[in-house]
Amino acid sequence: MRPDAAHTVAVLDAVRGKGPRVHCLTNSVARAFTANVLLAIGAVPSMSHEAPEVGAFVENADALLVNLGTLDAAMRAAMMAAIGAAEARGLPWILDPVFADRSAARAAFADELLARQPAALRLNEAEAAALGAGNLDAARRVGTIVAQTGEIDRISGPHAACDVALGDPLMRQVTAMGCALGAVIAAFIAVSDNRFSGVCAAVHVFGAAGSLAGSRAAGPGSFVPAFLDALFTLDAASFAELEKGR
Amino acid sequence: MRPDAAHTVAVLDAVRGKGPRVHCLTNSVARAFTANVLLAIGAVPSMSHEAPEVGAFVENADALLVNLGTLDAAMRAAMMAAIGAAEARGLPWILDPVFADRSAARAAFADELLARQPAALRLNEAEAAALGAGNLDAARRVGTIVAQTGEIDRISGPHAACDVALGDPLMRQVTAMGCALGAVIAAFIAVSDNRFSGVCAAVHVFGAAGSLAGSRAAGPGSFVPAFLDALFTLDAASFAELEKGR
Amino acid sequence: MRPDAAHTVAVLDAVRGKGPRVHCLTNSVARAFTANVLLAIGAVPSMSHEAPEVGAFVENADALLVNLGTLDAAMRAAMMAAIGAAEARGLPWILDPVFADRSAARAAFADELLARQPAALRLNEAEAAALGAGNLDAARRVGTIVAQTGEIDRISGPHAACDVALGDPLMRQVTAMGCALGAVIAAFIAVSDNRFSGVCAAVHVFGAAGSLAGSRAAGPGSFVPAFLDALFTLDAASFAELEKGR
């Protein structure tokens, strides 16, 4: 199935109206862009990542992002503390196992976190292969929504699946696009009663903004401001424009 | 009172002429944008933050920024070393207690640093409440200039106060705008004999660039390059344009 | 001598075709921009910098960048591990001794790494003075290519030298331009049989994109997207346009 534009816009408007706080434990390359993407959709980012302090930030948040890029021992400790605080409060958290395919230690840590049952998982094909189909199936069975991005983005949960065929090739030429999508998924889950439809709406918004920005950009440099502007202004008319352009 | 455009342009031109070096101990989300804002006004940023090395950088600097975002133990140690080096040289330093309202430990550290008498303090309403009116009054009495930003920015010192009603709502949709203002205040204080008028000029420049960029931007993405361009090109004619637009 | 545009475009096309992986140990201010510059030329960045993990990333890479900005003990350990892994595989690595002129400890560490014979060295005039002419001459004799950037960029190896007089004054108003050039040099060396001509081509591409972006930008803010777009689209026609504009 494909996501429904009216539903997607309704969830986006809920994000804009409620301004969910998303605490991000994410890699140092992606931090500024992730914060700007969250602000562009109306969410409120925070990024503190010291273990003794992270609990207080998670207490004040509506969702948590755990992204494994540029890991170190201090960040791993902060992640364990943050996930513990999220579990204690029933807060949804999203796992993004960046580059799990490049390092066996990274893949092992990703598997360990996956067993803690994140609300959603964002990864690409190579990272999915590193985690293993068996582990992903097990995660889906206990309710984790898996968003595997690529030329076509595939969202799958325990009972349903959804495809998004939007976006632009320039998105592969901009750093941290996938990382920022993980944060958007966190913001959308924070305002959604149904996690699966929340993740579908997040991926739909992200792809639509990518398509619109791609049609206005002269390269990956001008793509970035166009993408943030598109996230900020996206509405029902934008989706109608995209439908017409097919 | 409102700041005087002619005075503000004179201080901005002094920054451009002298190129003050601003050493920044700031959070990892804000670093690149802060450096680009400083370069756009003609100042020279450095960002090293290892305790054993930070003294050498402060020795070579004209002002120091201490921003409490994404704190950890190593950064706190670097801050104590840097403030010590600044005090030894009589170098002005600026405190920005980011998110002091989100963590009690953060607020306590901010109060500890405030007692060391920074030249200026940059914060928003929530952070001011976390520090407490009594502590802010005490800081003002010993000469710290307090710049509280919001829809109207209010600058107050021991003997005077000044308001700036410029800027654009899009500034709230871009990460690290407040953090970057702290760095601009540091650069302006470095070239000003009168700290209060230096802080007023810094906030005036920042708000004016924000107003100009807002009038040219289609969203938070295009706002950022427009803002940096406006800082780079700002002159007396820009302020005249803003006056006419009221 | 000046670099040849046809050769430069051929090396750039090789980068685009092969997509070399460049592992970057670089400062926290430069990371996102460096990654975007590498992606714009068709290379693939990674940035993990924890000592126990860095070996696995270097194993999977085609070149390594070692940039000394925002150093700390953990990063120094990661650098030693990464250089060891690069030496074991015969992988080229590039040294960028950022701000070696601001701290004696930094300059000493830069000298220590220089003795490990990087494939190339990227620095400016002040950093070259901090390292010392004798050390640079010794490095050139054992084969390190030295790229000293400034108003005119000078590339020198054991047997040849080359000048590039391109770029734009706005490049000095944008943070991490030099740092990003170090990463581009790494990507170009990864696809070049002749390291000297690879470094010349890298500096040539960077300067040409800078000239083109400068002619389109209204300030340092609009320069950045224009620069990334220029890197992405640069071809023989771009060099012809630059020749005509002289």
Contact A39/B174, CB-based, under 8 Å?
A: yes
Contact B57/C220, CB-based, under 8 Å?
A: no
Half-sphere exposure at residue B25, Cβ-oriented, CA atoms within 13 angstroms: 30
Determine contact: A135 vs chain C, CB below 8 A. no
Contact C219/B233, CB-based, under 8 Å?
A: yes
d(CA C237, CA C226): 17
**Closest to C53 (Cβ–Cβ): which among A103, A173, A221?**
A103
Is the pLDDT assigned to residue A244 strictly greater than 90? no
**Alpha carbon of B109: minimum distance to chain C alpha carbons (Å):** 23
Name the phi and psi angles at C169, rounded to 5. -55, -25
Contact C32/A27, CB-based, under 8 Å?
A: no
Name residues whose C-beta falls within 8 Å of residue C210's C-beta, 6 or more positions apart in sequence: C166, C167, C168, C170, C171, C177, C227, C230
Cα nearest neighbour of A74 on chain C: C50
Determine contact: C28 vs chain B, CB below 8 A. yes
Contact A71/C52, CB-based, under 8 Å?
A: no
**Alpha carbon of C19: minimum distance to chain A alpha carbons (Å):** 11
Name the phi and psi angles at A161, rounded to 5. -145, 160
Residues of C in contact with A105 (CB under 8 A): 52-53, 56
Residues of B in contact with C225 (CB under 8 A): 225
Contact A70/C49, CB-based, under 8 Å?
A: yes
Tell whether A108 is covered by a domain.
Answer: yes
Tell whether A244 is covered by a domain.
Answer: no
Strand order in the sheet with B93-96: B44-46, B21-25, B63-67, B93-96, B120-124, B145-149, B153-156, B161-164
Contact B39/C176, CB-based, under 8 Å?
A: no
**Alpha carbon of B117: minimum distance to chain A alpha carbons (Å):** 25
- The pLDDT assigned to C1 comes to 77
Determine contact: A204 vs chain C, CB below 8 A. no
**Alpha carbon of B107: minimum distance to chain A alpha carbons (Å):** 11
Residues of B in contact with C71 (CB under 8 A): 48, 50, 53
Is the pLDDT assigned to residue A106 strictly greater than 90? yes
Name residues whose C-beta falls within 8 Å of residue C179's C-beta, 6 or more positions apart in sequence: C26, C27, C29, C30, C33, C34, C67, C69, C96, C98
E strand or H helix at B211, and its extent?
helix B195-216
d(CA A112, CA A106): 10
- The pLDDT assigned to A192 comes to 97
**Closest to A99 (Cβ–Cβ): which among C35, C48, C227?**
C48
Chains that touch B (3 or more CB pairs under 8 A): A, C
Determine contact: B48 vs chain C, CB below 8 A. yes
How many residues in total does chain C contain?
A: 246
Contact C47/A33, CB-based, under 8 Å?
A: no
d(CA B47, CA B183): 11
Residues of C in contact with A29 (CB under 8 A): 31-32, 35, 45, 47
Determine contact: C141 vs chain B, CB below 8 A. no
Tell whether C53 is covered by a domain.
Answer: yes
Residues of B in contact with A225 (CB under 8 A): 219, 221-222, 224-225
Q: Residue A141 burial by CB count (10 A; 0-12/13-18/19+): exposed, middle or buried? A: exposed
**Alpha carbon of C98: minimum distance to chain B alpha carbons (Å):** 10
The pairing of strands B21-25 and A161-164 is unpaired
Q: Residue A239 burial by CB count (10 A; 0-12/13-18/19+): exposed, middle or buried? A: buried
Low-confidence ranges of chain C (pLDDT < 70): 246
Name residues whose C-beta falls within 8 Å of residue C164's C-beta, 6 or more positions apart in sequence: C2, C3, C152, C153, C155, C200, C203, C204, C207
Determine contact: B226 vs chain C, CB below 8 A. yes
Strand order in the sheet with A161-164: A44-46, A21-25, A63-67, A93-96, A120-124, A145-149, A153-156, A161-164
What's this model's pTM, rounded to 2 decimal places?
Answer: 0.98
Cβ atoms within 10 Å, residue B10: 12
Interface of B with C in 52-81 (CB under 8 A): 52-53, 56-57, 60, 74
Contact B27/A45, CB-based, under 8 Å?
A: no
Cα nearest neighbour of A31 on chain C: C32
Domain that holds residue A85: 5-239
pLDDT tens for residues B198-211?
Answer: 999 999 999 999 99
- The pLDDT assigned to C244 comes to 85
Nearest Cα to Cα of residue C180 among C54, C94, C75, C86: C94
Chains that touch C (3 or more CB pairs under 8 A): A, B
Tell whether A76 is covered by a domain.
Answer: yes
- Best mutation site among A47, A49, A227 for testing chain B: the one with the most B CBs within 10 Å? A47
Which residues of C97-239 form beta strands (DSSP E)? 120-124, 145-149, 153-156, 161-164
Q: Residue B240 burial by CB count (10 A; 0-12/13-18/19+): exposed, middle or buried? A: exposed
Contact B48/C33, CB-based, under 8 Å?
A: no
Instruction: Establish, for the pair of chains A and C, how many residue pairs have beta carbons separated by less than 8 Å.
Output: 91
Tell whether C246 is covered by a domain.
Answer: no
Tell whether A176 is covered by a domain.
Answer: yes
d(CA C238, CA C225): 17
Query: What secondary structure does DSSP assign to A116-165, as a single string?
Result: T--SEEEEEHHHHHHH-HHHHHHHHHTT-EEEEESSSEEEE-SS-EEEE-
Tally the domains of chain C: 1
Nearest Cα to Cα of residue B17 among B195, B177, B190, B186: B190
Contact A50/B33, CB-based, under 8 Å?
A: no
- Structural tokens at position C104: 């004696």
Measured CA angle at C30 (ends A44, C200), to 5 deg: 150
d(CA B114, CA B136): 8
Query: At A246, is the pLDDT very low, low, confident or very high (cuts 50, 70, 90)?
Result: low
- The pLDDT assigned to C246 comes to 65
- Structural tokens at position C6: 């046809």
Contact B32/A32, CB-based, under 8 Å?
A: yes
Contact B232/C225, CB-based, under 8 Å?
A: no
Cα nearest neighbour of C28 on chain A: A28
Tens of pLDDT along chain B (246 residues) come to 789 999 999 999 999 999 999 999 999 999 999 999 999 999 999 999 998 899 999 999 999 999 999 999 999 999 999 999 999 999 999 999 999 999 899 999 999 999 999 999 999 999 999 999 999 999 999 999 999 999 999 999 999 999 999 999 999 999 999 999 999 999 999 999 999 999 999 999 999 999 999 999 999 999 999 999 999 999 999 999 998 876
The pairing of strands B153-156 and B161-164 is antiparallel
Determine contact: A228 vs chain B, CB below 8 A. yes
Determine contact: A40 vs chain B, CB below 8 A. yes
Contact A30/C32, CB-based, under 8 Å?
A: yes
Tell whether A23 is covered by a domain.
Answer: yes
Tell whether A245 is covered by a domain.
Answer: no
Q: Residue B148: which CATH number?
A: 3.40.1190.20
